Amino acid sequence: MAGRAAAVRRCHHWCASTWQRGGGATNSHDEHRESQPGKPGEKEPDIRFTLANERTFLAWNRTALALVVAGLGIVQLLPPFPRVPWGRHVLGIPLIALGAIVSVTAYLEWRRTQTAMRRSEPVPQSVLPRILVGTITGVAALSAVVLLVSAVR
Amino acid sequence: MPPGQPEDCSPDATALPEDPEDLSPGTAAERTRLAWERTAITFGVVGLVMLRDEPVAGLIVLAVTPLIWALARYVSAVPPPGAQARARRLLLVAVAVTGVAVVAAVAALLGHGGPVRLP
């Protein structure tokens, strides 16, 4: 097992040997895979990788909910910006929309990853970090604009 | 099995595994169940925040919380849920989070001081 784990670390991207580790040994993970035959050429991965993929999905969804709360907090809890009545909505609504986008994208990425693991293919790169960084940077820039307009006008 | 020992007895199993899950594979299911419970708690927090200004929307979101909590119990079920059942549960979470975002957006747009006024 330790040797296989070391081999996993050496593998540049996760590949067939990673998803199907356990080799020919009979254990509970293999029984799980064999009990769920998929399409031809597909095989359920080790349950631990399935669970890890699921945890990643759940973590992204908690991030999505945090974005929704942040957006709602900006709209409902912040006092209005002086001379910029639309300021709170301009900042809060993109965050709420990002929450919905992150959740839907996380599900699509969970499916893609699960399918890649079933086919013993490399896991596709996630687009979510880029979406998150882009939107949060945009909202930060927008915050600066709203604050400047509010102060200067 | 004494602590610090790998789970199998193969010749290369003398060293500690690099991945903690190799030492104790059962913790993967437990950590996943905890992740589900954290997600359910987050739903509860969102519901409570919404309850302040939008009681109806807040109650709807709070009603989803026990559902997500209930889904957590199936993670460590024996035998593990099938691929289709797992996909359905995750789709349910994605739909619930998207629904919460839509409700929050409507509340933000139509609520007190919102830019949209209903006739």
Q: Per-residue pLDDT tens for A64-90?
A: 999 999 999 999 888 888 888 889 999
Chain B positions touching A50 (Cβ under 8 A) are 86
Q: How close B44 gets to chain A, by Cα (Å)?
A: 10
pTM: 0.77
Q: How close B3 gets to chain A, by Cα (Å)?
A: 15
- Distance, CA of A61 to CA of B49 (rounded, Å): 17
Q: Would the CB atoms of A54 and B90 count as touching at under 8 Å?
A: yes
Q: Which two tokens stand for residue B88?
A: 């359905």
Averaged pLDDT of chain A: 79
* Domain coverage including residue B40: 30-110
Q: Would the CB atoms of A69 and B45 count as touching at under 8 Å?
A: yes
Helix and strand totals (H; E) in chain B? 4, 0
Q: What is the mean pLDDT of residues A109-113?
A: 95
pLDDT recorded at residue B22: 66
- Distance, CA of B107 to CA of A21 (rounded, Å): 49
Examine residue B89 and state whether it is found in any structural domain, yes or no: yes
Examine residue B23 and state whether it is found in any structural domain, yes or no: no
Give the model confidence (pLDDT) of A9-29 as tens digits: 433 344 444 555 443 333 444
Q: What is the mean pLDDT of residues B86-108?
A: 91
Contact B59, B51 (CB under 8 A): yes
* Domain coverage including residue A97: 2-152
- Distance, CA of B12 to CA of B23 (rounded, Å): 14
Q: How close B27 gets to chain A, by Cα (Å)?
A: 9
By Cβ distance, the residue of A2, A47, A97 closest to B18 is A2
pLDDT recorded at residue A112: 95
- Number of domains forming the structure of chain A: 1
pLDDT recorded at residue A2: 44
Chain B positions touching A58 (Cβ under 8 A) are 32, 35-36, 38-39, 93
Q: Would the CB atoms of A57 and B93 count as touching at under 8 Å?
A: yes
Residue A61: CB atoms within 10 A of its CB come to 27
Q: How close B12 gets to chain A, by Cα (Å)?
A: 6
Looking at chain A, which residue has its C-alpha nearest residue B34? A55
Measured between alpha carbons, how far apart are the two ends of chain B, in Å?
70
Task: Give the best residue of A28, A49, A55 to mutate against chain B (max B CB count within 10 A).
Answer: A55
Give the model confidence (pLDDT) of A32-44 as tens digits: 444 444 577 778 8
Nearest CA-CA partner of A63 in B71, B50, B46: B46
By Cβ distance, the residue of A5, A25, A107 closest to B91 is A107
Cis peptide before B79 (omega within 30 of 0): yes
- What's the pLDDT band for B30 if we cut at 50, 70, 90? confident
Examine residue B34 and state whether it is found in any structural domain, yes or no: yes
Give the model confidence (pLDDT) of A50-69 as tens digits: 889 999 999 999 999 999 99
- Number of domains forming the structure of chain B: 1
Q: Is the pLDDT of residue B86 over 80?
A: yes
pLDDT recorded at residue A132: 94
pLDDT recorded at residue A88: 92
